């Protein structure tokens, strides 16, 4: 383990013995001067011709002069931009709108200004905010008035990393348009050219408050191509072009239209593993690809500058054409400072390389994306040629590949402390940008200040994109709405838009609004993570995650507000407020011995004393906290994969009998693989989940095909598989998948295979686990999303049951469209595990989702639970296991009172056990988790201990 590094301010120029860096003289200024003198010269020549008619040659020279003049123009809005009376995106059918009684987060004063008042929208612009005088209002004949009753209003969310439209959903083979596989260096490629206007995400993400996104080409290429900011609302023209926000002027001309002020252009680049894997390169090749490309651009730029200096000094005799090249002009604009360069770049080795390119070719990197090691090397990033780059991050997604392994939830706060602009981004559809605000909520939970957290998805990305003059703030003269009215404080979990305006046009005319608890109207008072944030830097991104202390004897939890208990199927909620003696301010205590809860009550009733500590009694002050059942994770390869993209860190995939002959050493396809045999303990996602209250996981063998194998239920905190309590069920359920996603065999072929395996028990010596399924001994867990496939499986269940006379325990996982069969599932006694908990129509089979508020009143969970279906929630990737408690809180809030707190907890505990193992654990073998300062549903609490009767101890974290 390395020691913590001190990042003392260093005079950058003197490091490594380099000469101090000189401020670059912007060539553009020289060119401006040259162009000015040229214009004078040209005018003089024209006058000298006497008749005032310019000769052919002088016309050419004037054209050349204008082109050279253009080189010096700085991109951005014209100086009189805020005198505009209409937005260029105004739609004449839009009524003027008055939003009344709002709590407005304006984005001003570093995100700390909040104005209580009204907002007036007209002609696609915000015309006034604050107290709007009656006389102003009286001027309008038609004014839409929206009273928002003191709700929070923020600027529309700006997503600084999206592939919306280019990697469109549902994913079809005709919609992979987010990069070119034909060239690793493709500065000519334009994301606009692939923008599918039928992507289902526009409407869904708008419903999450996203109003603007920049569509970046994918990160396969070293220079992936040109990116374009869009607004998400549908337009009358229905074209990709009409979605563009401030397109650069040469979008429909080969070279710039000289009459228009240039806008910022955007370029996407990538370092590291992506170009390495897609284009068969190594990191050395990637760097050379950058250098070779920018060297070509520099040569072209130099020839342009030479041309322009000739023009300026009147040496125009054999001038020829202005040197230009469609393939390279974008990179010349990068070198001229007209482009915001956004670079996907993760690790120290790559960030360092990127900064060397920036220095060598003298252009600034506007933003570094993913950047999982940025917080470890802030001084490297300060070497950027120009201001510090913005850092665009995920909140908790990490460890899926080597370069993401050291990603940290504390990066946003650490980078902010180092003075970097931090942006939270979606990489949509990698994360569903509908929930981009959740990234800011998590960043805030782990220590990013409130003002910076809200700015990280609004003003900061707007400013970094060079669009801060019109979006990302609520100010007079800015685009009319883009603004969002929220049902709760934007940093409280589950905050959902009530209204979304884009260009002054209401995008949610009939929102389904859920009443949120009043405590959600202010920012959560988040726990202190200073020590954890310091440790992650000290340990070079890999801080120890094991429990600090394992206590085998007695542990007393004091100042407890609530205890959620569980026994078998049931979860009960017990309030301990008012039960305590005076010493503990009316709160209760919970006494644990050898990892089992012995007594719930008061010092008196439990016969212990806090003030006279006894021998062997560990006291933990929960500060008004709560104890609840350990949660269960399902769906990700927890325990079977450590770094998803690295085979050597994983158990690997089982054989798919549709694709490959099962090797004879395995017998036949009835020899099922058991996950328990491939489990690895102590992985970082597992321990991170454990520290977040998720104490066990049910994992099936990894499979990319029809046949899965036998899942296992195990502890996420155990050191190895022989520890007491490490393995809870060796065999939980039998897993298969029926989906187009897993094999090229048809759906009906997959069902035929399943029918045969269930109806014709195997012969031979081995145990046939399909027979266990038909006899109802273990659940049959089937991954299926489409309602039609689920209906077929319900029929198959009946068919097999009537043939065998036994009842099958069947569970559908994934289940995006299960809500369409809520009644039938309940009737057939088939339960579902929704995976992910909040559905997204990624695939055709998943497209008929029930999106929940504000688009529908019901959520998939509330609809299914309402019909009596047993429902669990799952995840897809291991990093997400830690977020289970946020998913539960969200599910409960969204359901608008249709599911209780107890029911919410069951979704990720007892219900998952019932659905995936076929039975639930008793109280005596269930883990409990102690939260300090709140309960599992809020962002004010922190896990401090895990109480484990199986391990007969308490882990103090
Ligand atoms: C903005 O606020 C953050 C957090 O409160 C602070 O760290 C930062 O220094 C502030 N920036 C400015 C320019 O005041
Ligand atoms: C080219 O595109 C710009 C920006 O969208 C637009 O303003 C202009 O009218 C277009 N020009 C032509 C000739 O279509
Ligand atoms: C319970 O909370 C009170 C108030 O913060 C504190 O004074 C007391 O020490 C706590 N009890 C224990 C046992 O830590």
Centre of ligand 1 to C-alpha 334, Å, is 30
5/529: higher pLDDT: 529
Q: Tell me the C-alpha to C-alpha distance, in Å, between residue 466 and each of 157, 246, 247, 579, 807.
A: 15, 10, 12, 58, 63
Backbone dihedral angles phi then psi of residue 433, each to the nearest 5 degrees: -70, -10
Assess whether pLDDT exceeds 90 at residue 691: yes
Backbone dihedral angles phi then psi of residue 106, each to the nearest 5 degrees: -85, -25
Alpha helices in 401-471 (DSSP H): 411-417, 436-445, 450-455, 459-464
Q: Which residues contact 698 (CB under 8 A, 6 or more apart)?
A: 632, 633, 634, 711, 712, 713, 732, 733, 912, 913, 916, 917
Q: What is the average per-residue pLDDT within 479-489?
A: 95
pLDDT for the residue numbered 762: 73
Nearest CA to ligand 2 atom 1: 252
Mean pLDDT, rounded, of the chain = 92
Q: What is the average per-residue pLDDT within 521-542?
A: 98
Residues shown for the chain:
957
Both tokens of residue 767? 């145990």
Residue with tokens 């002009």: 329
Q: Which phi-psi region, left, alpha or beta, contains residue 225 (left: φ > 0; alpha: ψ -120 to 50)? A: left
pLDDT in tens, 274-301: 999 999 999 999 999 999 999 999 999 9
Beta carbon of 254 within 6 Å of any ligand 2 atom: no
pLDDT in tens, 224-266: 999 999 999 999 999 999 999 999 877 888 888 788 888 999 9
Contact (CB, 8 A) for 101 and 149: yes
Handedness of CA 506, 507, 512, 515 (dihedral sign): negative
Assess whether pLDDT exceeds 50 at residue 400: yes
Query: pLDDT band for position 751 (50/70/90)?
Result: very high
Cis amide leading into 343 (omega within 30): no
Beta strands in 389-448 (DSSP E): 390-393, 422-424
Nearest CA to ligand 3 atom 13: 558
Query: pLDDT band for position 580 (50/70/90)?
Result: low
pLDDT for the residue numbered 21: 37
Q: Tell me the C-alpha to C-alpha distance, in Å, between residue 137 and each of 131, 359, 697.
A: 11, 54, 59
Q: How remote is the C-alpha of 98 from its chain's centroid?
A: 33
Q: Give the pairing of strands 497-502 and 505-506.
A: antiparallel
Write b or e for each residue in 297-333: b if 16 or more Cβ atoms lie within 10 A of its Cβ, otherwise e: bbebbeebbebbebbbeeebeeeeebbbeeebbbbbb
pLDDT for the residue numbered 58: 86
Q: How many CA atoms lie within 13 A of 812 on its CB side?
A: 34
pLDDT for the residue numbered 579: 59
pLDDT for the residue numbered 584: 46
pLDDT for the residue numbered 765: 53
Nearest CA to ligand 1 atom 5: 449
Angle 849-854-860 from CA coordinates, rounded to 5°: 35
pLDDT for the residue numbered 42: 45
Contact (CB, 8 A) for 769 and 730: no
Q: What percent of the chain stands above pLDDT 70? A: 93
pLDDT in tens, 6-54: 333 333 323 322 333 333 334 444 444 444 444 444 444 444 444 555 5
Both tokens of residue 809? 């325990």
- Tell which one of 583, 932, 933 to mutate to probe ligand 3, the residue whose CB is within 8 A of the most ligand atoms: 583
pLDDT for the residue numbered 53: 57
CA distance linking residue 656 with residue 653, whole number of Å = 9
Atom of ligand 2 at shortest range from CA of 253: 1
> Among residues 396, 390, 294, which one has the least CA distance to residue 343?
390
Q: Which residues contact 86 (CB under 8 A, 6 or more apart)?
A: 123, 124, 125
Query: pLDDT band for position 764 (50/70/90)?
Result: low
Centre of ligand 1 to C-alpha 413, Å, is 11
pLDDT for the residue numbered 270: 98
Q: Which domains does the chain have, with CATH numbers?
A: 28-71 (no CATH), 158-520 (3.20.20.140), 546-630+926-957 (2.30.40), 631-925 (3.20.20.140)
Q: Which residues contact 874 (CB under 8 A, 6 or more apart)?
A: 633, 634, 635, 636, 813, 833, 834, 835, 836, 837, 912
CA distance linking residue 933 with residue 623, whole number of Å = 5
pLDDT for the residue numbered 614: 74
Q: How remote is the C-alpha of 824 from its chain's centroid?
A: 34
Contact (CB, 8 A) for 696 and 717: no
Q: Which residues contact 178 (CB under 8 A, 6 or more apart)?
A: 163, 166, 167, 191, 194, 217, 218
Contact (CB, 8 A) for 940 and 526: yes
CA distance linking residue 697 with residue 137, whole number of Å = 59
CA distance linking residue 395 with residue 381, whole number of Å = 20
CA distance linking residue 33 with residue 929, whole number of Å = 70
Backbone dihedral angles phi then psi of residue 899, each to the nearest 5 degrees: -125, 140
CB 627: neighbour CB atoms within 10 A?
27
Centre of ligand 2 to C-alpha 249, Å, is 7
Nearest CA to ligand 3 atom 12: 621
Beta carbon of 545 within 6 Å of any ligand 2 atom: no
Nearest CA to ligand 2 atom 14: 252
pLDDT in tens, 925-934: 899 999 999 9
Centre of ligand 3 to C-alpha 610, Å, is 9
Centre of ligand 2 to C-alpha 566, Å, is 65
pLDDT for the residue numbered 54: 57
Beta carbon of 259 within 6 Å of any ligand 2 atom: no
User: What is the rounded (10 degree) CA torsion for 274, 276, 280, 281?
Assistant: 150
CA distance linking residue 832 with residue 895, whole number of Å = 17
Centre of ligand 2 to C-alpha 246, Å, is 11
3-state DSSP call for residue 689? helix
Q: Give the pairing of strands 953-956 and 942-948.
A: antiparallel
Q: Which residues contact 588 (CB under 8 A, 6 or more apart)?
A: 560, 561, 563, 576, 577, 579, 580, 600, 601, 602
Both tokens of residue 362? 């003298």
Q: Which residues contact 4 (CB under 8 A, 6 or more apart)?
A: 534, 537, 538
249/59: higher pLDDT: 59
707/586: higher pLDDT: 707
Angle 211-213-217 from CA coordinates, rounded to 5°: 160
Least confident of 545-549, 602-606, 729-733: 602-606
CA distance linking residue 943 with residue 622, whole number of Å = 10
pLDDT for the residue numbered 372: 98
Angle 785-791-796 from CA coordinates, rounded to 5°: 115
> Among residues 93, 95, 115, which one has the least CA distance to residue 104?
115
Helix %, strand %, coil % for the chain, to 5?
A: 30, 25, 45
Q: Tell me the C-alpha to C-alpha distance, in Å, between residue 688 and each of 87, 673, 758, 886.
A: 48, 27, 39, 14
- Tell which one of 105, 107, 108, 110 to mutate to probe ligand 1, the residue whose CB is within 8 A of the most ligand atoms: 110
Q: Which residues contact 871 (CB under 8 A, 6 or more apart)?
A: 831, 832, 833, 834, 861, 864, 865, 907, 911
H or E stretch at 145: strand 143-155
pLDDT in tens, 596-614: 999 999 888 998 888 876 7
Backbone dihedral angles phi then psi of residue 69, each to the nearest 5 degrees: -60, -40
Nearest CA to ligand 1 atom 9: 419
Q: Which residues contact 873 (CB under 8 A, 6 or more apart)?
A: 833, 834, 835, 836, 837, 861, 884, 887, 888, 891, 907, 908, 912
Beta strands in 265-379 (DSSP E): 265-270, 339-345, 367-370
CB 704: neighbour CB atoms within 10 A?
12
Atom of ligand 2 at shortest range from CA of 260: 7
Assess whether pLDDT exceeds 50 at residue 877: yes
CB 665: neighbour CB atoms within 10 A?
6
pLDDT for the residue numbered 318: 85
Q: How remote is the C-alpha of 212 from its chain's centroid?
A: 16
pLDDT in tens, 337-391: 999 999 999 999 999 999 999 999 999 999 999 999 999 999 999 999 999 999 9
User: What is the rounded (10 degree) CA torsion for 391, 397, 400, 403?
Assistant: 20
CA distance linking residue 219 with residue 189, whole number of Å = 12
CA distance linking residue 436 with residue 431, whole number of Å = 8
> Among residues 749, 191, 687, which one has the least CA distance to residue 428?
191
| Nearest ligand, measured from the Cα of 249 | 2
> Among residues 494, 581, 542, which one has the least CA distance to residue 889?
494
- Tell which one of 229, 235, 252 to mutate to probe ligand 2, the residue whose CB is within 8 A of the most ligand atoms: 252
């Amino acid at each position: 383990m390395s020691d913590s590094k001190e990042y003392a301010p260093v005079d950058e120029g003197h490091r490594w013995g380099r000469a101090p860096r000189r401020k670059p003289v912007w060539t553009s200024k020289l060119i401006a001067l040259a162009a000015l003198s040229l214009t004078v010269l040209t005018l003089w020549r024209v006058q000298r011709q006497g008749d005032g008619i310019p000769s052919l040659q002088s016309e050419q020279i004037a054209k050349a002069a204008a082109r050279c003049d253009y080189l010096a123009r700085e991109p951005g809005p014209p100086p009189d931009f805020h005198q505009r009376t209409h937005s260029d995106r105004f739609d004449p059918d839009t009524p003027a709108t008055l939003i009344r009684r709002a709590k407005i987060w304006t984005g001003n004063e570093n995100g700390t200004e909040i104005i209580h008042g009204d907002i007036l929208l007209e002609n696609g612009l915000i015309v006034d905010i604050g107290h709007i005088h009656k006389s102003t209002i009286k001027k309008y004949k038609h004014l839409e008035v929206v009273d928002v009753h003191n709700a929070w209003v923020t600027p529309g969310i700006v997503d600084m990393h999206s592939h919306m439209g280019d990697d469109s959903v549902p994913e079809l083979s005709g919609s992979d348009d987010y990069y070119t596989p034909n060239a690793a260096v493709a500065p000519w490629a334009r994301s606009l050219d692939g923008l599918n206007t039928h992507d289902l995400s526009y409407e869904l993400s708008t419903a999450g408050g996203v109003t603007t996104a920049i569509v970046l080409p994918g990160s396969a290429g070293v220079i992936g191509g040109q990116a374009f900011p869009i607004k998400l609302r549908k337009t009358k023209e229905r074209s990709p072009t009409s979605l563009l926000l401030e397109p650069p002027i040469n979008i429909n001309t080969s070279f710039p239209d000289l009459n228009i002020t240039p806008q910022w252009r955007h370029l996407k680049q990538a370092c590291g593993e992506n170009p390495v894997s897609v284009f068969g390169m190594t990191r050395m090749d990637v760097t050379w690809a950058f250098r070779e490309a920018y060297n070509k651009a520099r040569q072209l730029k130099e020839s342009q500058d030479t041309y322009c200096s000739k023009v300026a000094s009147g040496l125009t005799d054999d001038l020829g054409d202005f040197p230009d090249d469609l393939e390279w002009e974008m990179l010349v604009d990068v070198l001229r400072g007209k482009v915001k360069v956004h670079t996907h770049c993760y690790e120290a080795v790559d960030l360092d390389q990127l900064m060397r390119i920036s220095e060598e070719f003298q252009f600034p990197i506007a933003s570094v994306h993913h950047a999982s090691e940025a917080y470890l090397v802030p001084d490297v990033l300060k070497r950027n040629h120009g201001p510090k780059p913005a850092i665009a991050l995920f909140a908790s997604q990490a460890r899926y590949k080597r370069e993401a392994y050291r990603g940290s939830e504390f990066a946003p706060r650490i980078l902010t402390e180092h003075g970097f602009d931090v942006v939270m981004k979606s990489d949509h559809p990698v994360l569903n940008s509908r929930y981009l605000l959740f990234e800011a909520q998590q960043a805030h939970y782990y220590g990013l200040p409130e003002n910076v957290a809200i700015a990280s998805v609004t003003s900061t990305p707007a400013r970094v994109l060079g669009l801060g003059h019109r979006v990302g703030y609520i100010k007079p003269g800015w685009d009319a709405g883009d603004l969002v009215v929220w049902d709760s404080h934007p940093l409280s979990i589950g905050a959902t838009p009530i209204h979304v305006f884009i260009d002054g046009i209401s995008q949610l005319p009939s929102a389904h609004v859920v009443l949120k608890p009043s405590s959600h109207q202010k920012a959560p008072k988040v726990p202190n993570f200073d020590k954890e944030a310091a440790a992650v830097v000290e340990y070079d991104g890999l801080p120890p995650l094991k429990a600090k202390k394992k206590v085998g004897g007695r542990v007393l939890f004091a100042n407890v507000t609530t205890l959620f208990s569980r026994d078998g199927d049931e979860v009960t909620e017990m309030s301990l407020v008012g039960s305590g003696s005076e010493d503990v301010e009316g709160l209760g205590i919970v006494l644990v011995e050898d990892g089992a809860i012995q007594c719930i009550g008061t010092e008196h009733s439990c016969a212990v004393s806090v003030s006279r500590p006894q021998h062997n009694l560990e006291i933990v002050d929960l500060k008004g906290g709560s104890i609840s059942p350990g949660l269960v994770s399902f769906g990700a390869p927890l325990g079977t994969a450590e770094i998803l993209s690295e085979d050597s860190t994983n158990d690997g995939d089982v054989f798919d009998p549709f694709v490959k002959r099962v090797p004879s050493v395995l017998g036949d396809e009835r020899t099922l693989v058991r996950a328990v045999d491939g489990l690895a303990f102590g992985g970082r996602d597992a321990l991170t989940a454990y520290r977040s209250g998720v104490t066990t996981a049910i994992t099936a063998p990894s499979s990319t095909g029809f046949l899965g194998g036998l899942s296992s239920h195990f502890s996420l905190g155990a050191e190895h598989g022989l520890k007491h309590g490490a393995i809870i069920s060796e065999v939980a359920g039998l897993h298969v998948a029926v989906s187009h996603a897993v094999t090229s065999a048809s759906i009906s072929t997959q069902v035929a295979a399943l029918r045969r395996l269930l109806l014709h028990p195997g012969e031979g010596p081995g145990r046939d686990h399909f027979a266990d399924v038909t006899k109802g001994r273990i659940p049959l867990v089937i991954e299926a999303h489409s309602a039609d496939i689920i209906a077929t499986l319900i029929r198959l269940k009946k068919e097999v049951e009537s043939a065998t006379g036994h009842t099958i325990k069947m569970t559908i996982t994934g289940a995006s469209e299960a809500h369409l069969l809520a009644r039938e599932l309940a009737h057939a006694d088939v339960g579902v595990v929704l995976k992910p908990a909040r559905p997204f129509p990624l695939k055709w089979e998943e497209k008929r989702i029930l999106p929940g508020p504000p688009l529908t009143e019901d959520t998939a969970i509330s609809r299914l639970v309402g019909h009596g279906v047993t429902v669990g929630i799952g995840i897809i990737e291991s990093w997400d296991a830690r977020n289970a408690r946020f998913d539960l809180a969200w599910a409960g809030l969204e359901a608008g009172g249709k599911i209780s707190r107890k029911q919410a907890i069951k979704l990720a505990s007892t219900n998952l056990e019932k659905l995936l193992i076929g039975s639930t654990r008793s109280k005596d073998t269930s883990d409990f988790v102690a939260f300090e300062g709140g309960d599992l549903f809020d962002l004010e609490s922190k896990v401090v201990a895990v109480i484990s009767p199986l391990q007969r101890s308490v882990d103090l974290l």
